[in-house]
Structure 1
Amino acid sequence: MTYQIDPIANPELEAKIQHKIDLKTKPIGALGKLEHIAFQIGRIQQTENPKIEKPTIVVFAGDHGIATKGEVNPFPQEVTSQMVYNFINGGAAINIFSNTNNLSLKIVDAGVNHTFPNELDIINAKIDFGTKNYQEEPAMTLKQCEESFNKGSDIISKLKNEGTNTIGFGEMGISNTSSAALLMSYFTEIPISECVGSGTGLDNEGISRKQQILSNVYKKYNPQNALEAMAVFGGFEIAMISGAILKAAQLKMTIIIDGFIVTAALLAAQAINKNVLDYCVFAHNSNEKGHIKMLEFLNVNPLLSLGLRLGEGTGTALAIPLVQASVNFLNDMASFDSAGVSGETKD
């Protein structure tokens, strides 16, 4: 599995973009993170006049074998399929936020333990009816893992061909915070105890039990690379997001990274190709325990800190308008010359 991802460094263009930003009718640096985002997206698109086109959020859903035991999750596994119906019916937070900000929303069955009607408005990319329980055996085979990456890539290729150049990801899968914690520990080498949080609402006793269970799982395996780690610990939805992230970067799309689960998928993607990080804008700092440590490991700063830990891509949906505003000010805000405003004096 190889993804040809070009680095975005271009000193001559970067100087032009920065000069354009600095000449806007404002003090230098006065728009803070928005200036950094405008600069980054100009570099991603290799232009002084970047555009956000058909921004889309793709929510991948998949079930996890460990959820059937109910030891690490307070909600039963069938909530995954029930929430997919909620997405389709427009009743979830991601629907509300996507509608509020005029974002296209796609729902993917990556591996839900349920058969959805053919007429449902859903992308059928099902690998299997949920992963295996990694307490007993690897979550998936290497072949299934590769297939997940490839299906995620194919979905992004199709969206790019339809005109989307800005993409965000969400997820749904009971117990996927357990997979994310295991992947986080593998890629960052942070102890499991510091990677495990409350997920969908565990109390302190539940968190302690979850830490012990996942610690035992972690010790059971010795994956040798990113793909093996995803096959052992991951979920179909997480693997598809990893493949989607890599393909989006290869296609020079702007990638908006959501919270704990999506960042776990990114950890795997960047282990495969570091250049993927050039294309990523980090939406928010999730309230799930391990997320801030993930962001510190990647040495990145998110746009928002709202105490969210819902998933679904909700942080992404809230951040995309800020990304759009960054591009708009770069393209449309007057310069000192065009507005006839005196600029900063030089001694």
Structure 2
Amino acid sequence: MPDIVPLDRSQEPALRALIDGKAKPLGALGRIEELAVQLALVGGTASPNATRAVLLVFAGDHGLTESGVSAYPSAVTLAMVATLLSGKASANAFARVAGAVLRVVDAGVAADLAPHPALILAKVRKGSRNAALGPALSAEEVDSALARGAAIAREAAVEGFDILLLGEMGIGNSASAALLVHRLAPAPIAQCVGPGAGHDAAGLARKLAVLEQAAARTDATDPREVLAQFAGLEIVMMAGAILGAAAARRPVLVDGFICGAAALAAIRLAPAAADYCIWAHRSAEPGHAAVLAAANAQPLLDLGLRLGEGAGALLALPLVRAAAALLSDVASLDDVLAGRL
């Protein structure tokens, strides 16, 4: 487990006083002021930087799809990974607008992927097992995925990225996330299940029945065991990336429901990791409400998104950069009144 240093809250009053002294009415920038304080505490500086950003899209397949939890076949995971690597997915378009680097991480795609400049090969195995029938992953596979995710985050920090954004791609992963949130929040399974990539009413009922079957197999609540029972490799590796980023004192922009489930797992493994998470948006997936409540999190945006890929994190990135600029680029009221500009 990476060593995560809790934020030094003793610096918070000084940072708030610094923001209060800017050329603006007290509290006039609302949540942006709160975000500025968080960025400063994470970075350990009154001039935090969020200029260099990388979106890591973790990809993996899920054995749960064998039981019909998704409206699409597993082959779509590989097709969408290819789309991301070709630069033609929604996340690519948003990353270009936001000025973020995009990389795809093969955590557990059920196929061999050819090398690509934007691809990080970190596969633990070709897809998880069917969690409706037995554990999705072994304990060793969970530990390997956590370690690989943490290493990827550390490498991004060494490379000079100021902030990490998380995204995912994996057919069936909203089903896996629902099971994780059911146990880790905890919350009733029916409140954690949503349409995913596009279920109709009959498909949603089938998905819920399969997940009820999976949940009935085990009463696991320990976070590592819950990951082994229900998680996909991209979710576990995202949890590891959050732990690694926190250990490297880098903020993490958490996307929607699936990324939120990974963040909740990371927080259950290491509570101090919560200080390093910035929650990008409120997903349209019903289970995200349970994630946000369990993490005591307030997302920056509420746009009805449920795409995944890190799209919501990319849309929230300019707000994070604006919060950093509030501390570094805005004059003090004293300087304005004294004409020292």
Q: For the superposition of Structure 1 and Structure 2, which TM-score range results when normalised by the shorter chain?
A: over 0.9
Deviation at 1:336, TM superposition (A): 1.1
What is the SS of the residue equivalent to 2:229?
Answer: helix
CA-based RMSD of the aligned residues comes to 1.3
Residue in 2 aligned with 1:141? Answer: 138
Distance 1:8 1:145 in 2: 27
Deviation of 1:341 after TM superposition, in Å, equals 7.0
Cross-structure match for 2:107: 110
- Work out whether 1:33 is the aligned partner of 2:31: yes
The 1-side partners of 2:82 and 2:115 are apart by: 13
CA-CA distance at 1:120 after TM superposition: 6.0
1:244 corresponds to 2:241: yes
**What is the DSSP-based 3-state SS (H/G/I as helix, E as strand, rest coil) of the residue aligned with 1:151?**
helix
User: Residues 341 and 312 from structure 1, CA distance in 2 versus in 1: closer, same or farther, beyond 3 angstroms?
Assistant: farther
- Of the candidates 60, 63, 66, which is equivalent to residue 62 of structure 1? 60
1:306 aligns with 2:309: no
| Counterpart residue number, 1:131 | 128
Query: Structure 2 stretches of 5 or more lacking a match?
Result: none
- Distance in 2, Cα, partners of 1:329 & 1:226: 38
> Which one of 76, 79, 88 corresponds to residue 79 of structure 1?
76
- The 3-state SS of whatever aligns with 1:281 is strand
In the alignment, does 2:213 pair up with 1:216? yes
User: 1:155 is aligned with what amino acid?
Assistant: I
Preserved contact between residue 67 and residue 76 of structure 1 (Cα < 8 Å): yes
Aligned equivalents of 2:34, 2:62: Cα separation in 1: 38
Equivalent pair of 1:98/1:104 in contact (CA under 8 Å): yes
Matched position secondary structure for 2:92? helix
Distance of 2:21 and 2:187 partners within structure 1: 44
Distance in 1 between residues matched to 2:186 and 2:237, nearest whole Å: 23
**Match runs of 1:119-268 below 5 Å:** 119=116, 121-268=118-265
CA deviation string 1:176-219 (max 9, x = no partner): 00000000000112110110000011112211221111011101
The letter of the residue matching 2:149 is G
Q: Is the 2:2–2:150 contact (alpha carbons within 8 Å) kept by the matching residues of 1?
A: no
Q: CA deviation at 1:51?
A: 1.3
Render the CA deviation track for 1:240-261: whole Å, top value 9, x for unaligned: 0011101111111111111000
Once the two structures are aligned, what percentage of the paired residues are identical?
Answer: 38
Over residues 247-301 of structure 1, what are the superposed CA-to-partner deviations in whole Å (9 max), with x where a residue is unaligned? 1111111111110001101111111111111111110000011112211221111
Distance 1:229 1:23, change over 3 A: same
1:97 corresponds to which residue? 94
Is 1:88 aligned to residue 46 of structure 2?
no
Deviation at 1:86, TM superposition (A): 0.2
Aligned pairs, number: 339
Q: TM-score, normalised by structure 1?
A: 0.95
Alpha-carbon offset, residue 225 of structure 1: 1.4
Asked if structure 2 preserves the Cα contact closer than 8 Å seen for 1:25 and 1:341, the reply is: no
SS at match of 2:253: strand
Give unpaired runs (5+ residues) of structure 1.
Answer: 343-347
Q: After TM superposition, where is structure 1 displaced by more than 4 Å over at least 4 residues in a row?
A: none
Alignment equivalent of 2:14, drawn from 13, 16, 29: 16
Q: Which amino acid aligns with 1:334?
A: A
Displacement of 1:72 after TM fit?
1.1
Q: Distance in 2 between matches of 1:210 and 1:192?
A: 11
Equivalent in 309, 326, 329 of residue 329 of structure 1: 326
- Deviation for aligned residue 1:75: 0.6
1:321–1:119 Cα change, 3 Å: closer
What residue identity is the alignment partner of 1:55? A
Offset, 1:9: 2.9
State which drifts further: 271-280 or 43-52: 43-52
